[in-house]
Amino acid sequence: MRSAWTRYLTIQEFKRNGSAILSGVNYAHVVAIHLYDGSLRGLAKRLVFSLFMSLRPTTTGNRDRDILVFFANRRKQRADYDFIAGELRRVVGRDGDYVEVLEHFNPLQWVSTLAGLLDALRAVSAYSVNPAERLTTALLIARYYSSRRHLAAVLSGKRTLVTFCDALPVENMLTQIARTNGAFTLTAQHGQYRLLDQSNMSPDAEAYANFISDRMLCWGDATRAEFVRAGFEPNRFIVTGWIRPPRSQQEQSGKRPDFFGVMLNGPNANESNKALLSVAKAVAAATGIPYLVRLHPQTALAAIQPLVDEQCRSIAHIALEPYLSSVAFSLGHMSGAVVEVLHEGHPTYLFDDGRLADVFRVEGLSYRSVDELIAAIRADIVDTSEVRERMASLSAWYNDNTNQASRLRAAILNKQGSHA
């Protein structure tokens, strides 16, 4: 089994060698996010997906505007993703059209997929993997290639394309087609993107490795700085802040919550989750404060239950508001939840287990040892004014959403490259 790092390097070389360019689209970019799981289960999923799942565009609007907002991720059943698409649509308003692509079961998709298999097999000839992976990659390419005309049709007359995330397959494909047609392309940020390395590599790396749009509507200067480190020009990143529903303001009781929280990463960072839970046990023992565990939306409860001790009072998928009202401070690692709670001025402490991305290695936020982290918590319990100021400063670095609607609209309608 290849290491995640080796697999990442192999996928990037597949993109660069150009063998998968068909009709002006580099399908190595389109299928990249599918290629990190080389297990038998992963190969089986590729096979079923390629042969029995089809794309169905649904159009809303007059179809005569020159701006298109496009979303292809409704099936993920993430309310936060759906909100981003809806807000982009609302901001553009009558100046744009809206198209969603839904994936649905189609028992005859295999006919269209196999029709393009010969070209797809040539496209993967330079992909340095075993024959089974090469074949299932070819099937993926053939499947997406079979939908090219349907996708291209939604771009008719469009001069600007706005996508939810151009790192994901359908939106990456449409972005490539749009750029070939001379359209201006923008994509949104939906998590705290960070450069990964051999210690923490995962498919999340495609957020930057697959970024191809002219501009990104990004959360804050932290994201811009991270992409500049990856070799991108800073003017490709327009800071508009995260696109999230406004949090309702609930009256605070003034009573300090009886627990602290532990915000876990997704399943791509299981080892760091284990380390974070070990730190939680140490913090609970040192402070006498029990803890709650907030699961990532994609993490199963059963995977975490064996890793906690008697000081854990709850493990749950919990929304932001009830979570923040239940905990006095939070431990975290490198998920977008960190930016969520910083935005609320919530005291937050990240444990650097050696796998923490550099974007989160910030003084006053991350700590390399358990003792340092516990000392910071104790100091902040004594001096609450200092921690409030520190959290406010950190929040602005990661997320600046002031005047968001007007800045989003200016970025999309005026094609601005940056903001002052």
> For residue range 177-197, what is the model confidence (pLDDT) as tens digits?
999 999 999 999 999 999 999
Cα–Cα distance for residue pair 17/127, rounded to 1 Å = 9
Instruction: State which H helix or E strand residue 359 sits in.
Output: none
Q: Is 187 exposed, middle or buried (0-12, 13-18, 19+ CB in 10 A)?
A: buried
- Residue where the block lists tokens 């910083």: 342
* H helix intervals, 79-220: 79-92, 109-115, 117-123, 131-145, 148-153, 169-180, 206-209
Percentage, residues of the chain above pLDDT 70: 95
Q: Does residue 29 have a pLDDT over 80?
A: yes
- pLDDT for residue 418: 39
Cβ-contact 408, 241 below 8 angstroms: no
- Please tell me the predicted confidence (pLDDT) of residue 122: 97
Of 292, 346, 72, nearest to 188 by C-alpha is 72
Q: What is the model's pLDDT at position 61?
A: 58
Look at residue 250 and tell me whether its pLDDT is greater than 80: no
Quick one: pLDDT at residue 415?
A: 63
Q: Per-residue pLDDT averaged across 402-420, rounded?
A: 77
> Residue 153's pLDDT is what?
92
Q: Distance between CA 355 and CA 273 in Å, rounded?
A: 11
Average pLDDT of the chain is 93
* Mean pLDDT, residues 188-212: 94
* pLDDT tens-place string over residues 65-122: 899 999 999 988 899 999 999 999 999 999 999 999 999 999 999 999 999 999 999 9
Q: What is the pLDDT of residue 1?
A: 59
DSSP for 257-310 reads PSEEEEE---GGGHHHHHHHHHHHHHHHHHH---EEEE--TT--HHHHGGG--T
Choose the weakest-confidence range: 47-61, 145-159, 175-189, 355-369. 47-61
pLDDT of 248 over the 70 cut: no
What pLDDT is recorded for position 400? 94
pLDDT higher than threshold 70 for residue 346: yes
Domain 259-398 of CATH type 3.40.50.2000: yes
Strand partners, 54: 104
Residue 133: per-residue pLDDT:
97
Yes or no: say if 264 and 295 are a contact pair by the CB < 8 Å rule: yes
Q: CATH 3.40.50.2000 occupies which residues in the chain?
A: 259-398
Number of helical (H) and strand (E) elements in the chain, helices listed first: 18, 15
pLDDT at 417: 44
Residue 25 has pLDDT above 50, yes or no: yes
pLDDT-based confidence at residue 361 (cuts at 50, 70, 90): very high
- What backbone torsions phi and psi does residue 24 show, to the nearest 5 degrees? 85, 0
Which distant-in-sequence residues (6+ apart) come within 8 Å of 295 by Cβ? 264, 301, 304, 315, 316, 317, 318
Residue 45, pLDDT score: 97
pLDDT number for residue 251: 46
> pLDDT by residue (tens digit) across 260-304?
999 999 888 889 999 999 999 999 999 999 999 999 988 889 999
Averaged pLDDT, 138-147: 98
Highest mean pLDDT (candidates 172-181, 197-206, 243-252, 317-326): 172-181
CATH 3.40.50 fits 4-239, yes or no: yes
